[in-house]
Structure 1
């Protein structure tokens, strides 16, 4: 068995000679075998689980860089009273991509119905998904065990 080259570090927002397209969920990784668009098979072997962002590069031990691109995936495009709608999405700890004229979330029929009930225009789209990171220094929106303490009197 031939040993695969290993990607042991991530270079943030850097050029690369090859690339791989990964969905939002697939960009949260530590150890996995992947293959680039150019046919390079390699093993991601990071010291800890990392949030790999669109435009980052996985750096192979020999110095080659495999760029990471956000792959298109099924999403909901939301238009309407964006601050109000974003509040309801955030209240459910749902990852959300915020743009000037729309919000994008992963396709979810329950959230689609809720948002339509709030007056949103909701339609299914397929697009790369690059949601906002968490507010507590994490790259991902976390649930209620997200690394900080709440005031015990605070209820959700």
Structure 2
């Protein structure tokens, strides 16, 4: 079993042996057993509070083997608006509810939630239900929580 105790930033030229696809919530677990796509068991033993991002590289403590993290496609709500101010208002209201949100210049993305979906629909923004990689912002103090 590989044991990953160190994270490195994304590097397209890293000599990785495999990938580990995880959802946004799974990427917040710093201590957990996983199974890679090739079936090999791995243990994450990263510093508490570590949040993995798409492309991050994990280093095995014994062999030095490298594994790349990929953001696993998952159910999401993608929010688009006719103008920037409506998208900003939606982001503000989601932030007031401490919701994990992916923020880009053209859309917001969050985990499915019927109450939040209804709130956003009342605001007049468009919501699409999709299966997509989810990259929520980490909190102001480097932590991500999902509710």
Note whether the superposition's TM-score is higher than 0.5: yes
**Cross-structure match for 2:77:** 76
Q: CA RMSD in A?
A: 1.8
The alignment's TM-score, normalised by the length of structure 2, stands at 0.86
The structure-2 alpha-carbon separation of the partners of 1:126 and 1:35, relative to structure 1 and needing over 3 Å to count, comes to: same
Pairing 1:100–2:100 present: no
**How many Å apart are 1:141 and its aligned residue?**
5.3
Q: What runs of 5+ residues in structure 2 fail to find an aligned partner?
A: none
The alignment's TM-score, normalised by the length of structure 1, stands at 0.81
Q: Of 97, 112, 115, which residue of structure 2 is paired with 1:110?
A: 115
The structure-2 alpha-carbon separation of the partners of 1:72 and 1:116, relative to structure 1 and needing over 3 Å to count, comes to: same
**Cross-structure match for 1:48:** 48
The count of aligned residue pairs is 139
Q: Distance in 1 between matches of 2:145 and 2:41?
A: 30
Within a 5 Å distance, the mapping from 1:1-40 to structure 2 comes to: 4-14=1-11, 15=14, 16-40=16-40
**How many Å apart are 1:6 and its aligned residue?**
1.2
Q: Is the 8 A contact 1:134 1:142 kept in 2?
A: no
Q: Distance in 1 between matches of 2:77 and 2:30?
A: 28
Higher relative contact order (CA 8 A, sep 6+): 2
Find runs of 4+ consecutive structure 1 residues off by over 6 angstroms. none
Within a 5 Å distance, the mapping from 1:139-154 to structure 2 comes to: 139-140=143-144
**Cross-structure match for 1:86:** 91
- Say which is worse superposed, 49-58 or 37-46, in terms of deviation: 37-46
**How many Å apart are 1:30 and its aligned residue?**
2.4
The structure-2 alpha-carbon separation of the partners of 1:113 and 1:142, relative to structure 1 and needing over 3 Å to count, comes to: closer
Which of 1 and 2 has greater Rg? 1
